[in-house]
Amino acid sequence: MHGIAYNAIDDEIIVTNPVAAAILVFRGGAQGAEPPVRIIQGARTKLAYPHSVNVDVKNREIIVGDPGGRKILVFPLGANGDVAPLRVLQGPKTTLGYVVGIAVDPERDLLIASSSSIRATFEGAGNRGLLFFNRTDSGNVAPRSVISGPKTGIFEGAWQVQVDSARGLIFMSVGNVINYRPRYALDKLRDWAKTAEIRSPWGSDRLGFVGVWGVDDNGDVAPRFAIKGPVSNLVHPAGLALNPPQNEIIVTDSVRNSTMVYSIPGIFKSGAATSKNR
Parse the chain into domains and list their residue ranges. 1-148, 168-278
* 5 compared with 98, residue with greater pLDDT: 5
Greatest CA span in the chain, whole angstroms? Answer: 55
Q: What is the pLDDT of residues 17-30, one digit of tens each?
A: 999 999 999 999 99
Strands (E), 8-156: 12-17, 22-27, 38-41, 52-56, 61-66, 71-76, 87-90, 98-105, 110-116, 129-134, 145-147
**Whether pLDDT at 14 is above 80:** yes
Confidence of residue 97 (pLDDT cuts 50, 70, 90): confident
Domain 1-148 has CATH 2.130.10.10: yes
Mean pLDDT along residues 149-172: 89
What pLDDT sits at residue 1? 77
Q: Is the pLDDT of residue 153 over 70?
A: yes
Q: How many CB atoms lie within 10 A of CB 74?
A: 23
Give the model's confidence band at 269: pLDDT under 50 very low, under 70 low, under 90 confident, else very high.
confident
- Select from 271, 275, 163 the least CA-distant residue to 225: 275
- pLDDT at residue 124 above 70? no
Q: Which residues pair with 116 in a beta bridge?
A: 98
Cβ atoms of residues 48 and 37 within 8 Å: no
